[in-house]
């Protein structure tokens, strides 16, 4: 129960997703759009009952899984990750689900907006939250830039996640900013570049520390 207290914000956001569906349900038509392609064209519909509960249930399942698989004390080297940073990330994921639910419901009610762009802005903001925390993570088996080289060496982990954190924040800024302008692809490209540079950097640092002899600390 005490552990659940760390996730009060995420749990509140899950509850808000269910509450928003209940409040807006009477205003929904019999069938609502629930999926859009990259061009913003509707390509999926659901009866309003199913469409109103799919995101809240998805939010609940996702948050429960993230809580159940939080970094254990064996995997992490300090408690800061569990007490401060990981619950913030879980809350960010729950906020994305809530945002998605509200977007679908309001669209179904007749408020037309660019769903792919909205999603890009939301994910971009989540990436900023995650990136801001990456450099503060100790080695663990759940979150962070996890490559064979970062997991093998503490210094490689620390240096890579500091750099990776900045790269993810930058990717999030690009994704959110271009999403506001109606573009999705630039943000996805920025995220791919951030991931590739982080992985490559971890290998370079590992080689530099270990002089290419395969040893690790």
- Looking at the structure, do residues 42 and 58 belong to the same domain, yes or no? yes
Of 113, 148, 176, which marks where a domain is finished?
113
Residues 13 and 92 in one domain: yes
Residues 109 and 122 in one domain: no
Paired tokens of 41: 């064209």
Residue 139 and residue 190 in one domain: yes
**Angle in degrees, 0-180, between the axes of helices 154-180 and 115-134, rounded to the nearest 10:** 150
What is the token pair recorded at 167?
């790269």
Q: Are residues 73 and 123 in the same domain?
A: no
Q: Which of 84, 113, 142 is the last residue of a domain?
A: 113
**CA dist 13 → 66, 97, 106, 156 (Å):** 14, 9, 18, 35
pLDDT of the residue at 101: 95
22 and 81 in one domain? yes
Residues 106, 122 within the same domain: no
Q: For residue 79, which phi and psi values (nearest 5 degrees)?
A: -90, -10
Determine the pLDDT at residue 74.
38
**Phi and psi torsions of 37, nearest 5°:** -85, 180
209 class by beta-carbon count within 10 Å (0-12 exposed, 13-18 middle, 19+ buried): middle
Residues 195 and 96 in one domain: no
Q: What is the pLDDT of residue 142?
A: 79
Residues 175 and 199 in one domain: yes
Q: Is the domain of 108 the same as that of 135?
A: no
Q: What Å distances lie between residue 108 and 9, 160, 162, CA to CA?
A: 27, 43, 42
Q: What is the pLDDT of residue 120?
A: 93
User: Of 54, 87, 113, which residue is a domain's last?
Assistant: 113
Torsion of CA 171, 173, 174, 180, to 10 degrees: 140
Same domain for 126 and 105: no
Count of the separate structural domains present in the chain? 2
pLDDT at 201: 96
Asked if residue 83 and residue 148 are part of one domain, the reply reads no
> Which of the residues in the chain have pLDDT under 70?
1-3, 72-83, 212-217
Domain holding 60, by residue range, is: 1-113
**pTM, full prediction:** 0.83
């Amino acid at each position: 129960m005490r552990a659940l207290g760390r996730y009060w914000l995420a749990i509140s956001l899950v509850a808000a997703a269910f509450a928003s569906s209940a409040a807006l349900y009477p205003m929904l038509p019999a069938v609502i759009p629930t999926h859009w392609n990259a061009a913003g064209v509707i390509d999926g519909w659901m009866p309003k009952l199913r469409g109103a509960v799919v995101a809240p249930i998805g939010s609940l399942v996702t948050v429960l899984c993230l809580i159940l698989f939080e970094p254990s004390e064996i995997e992490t080297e300090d408690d800061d990750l569990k007490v401060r940073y990981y619950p913030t990330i879980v809350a960010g994921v729950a906020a994305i689900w809530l945002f998605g639910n509200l977007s679908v419901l309001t669209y179904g009610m007749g408020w037309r907006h660019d769903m792919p762009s909205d999603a890009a802005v939301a994910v971009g903001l989540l990436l900023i939250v995650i990136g801001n925390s990456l450099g503060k993570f100790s080695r663990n088996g759940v979150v962070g830039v996890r490559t064979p080289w970062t997991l093998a060496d503490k210094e490689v982990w620390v240096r890579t996640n500091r750099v990776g954190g900045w790269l993810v924040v930058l990717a999030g800024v690009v994704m959110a900013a271009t999403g506001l302008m109606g573009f999705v692809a630039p943000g996805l490209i920025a995220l791919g570049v951030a991931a590739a540079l982080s992985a490559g950097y971890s290998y370079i640092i590992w080689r530099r520390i270990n002089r290419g002899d395969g040893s690790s600390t």
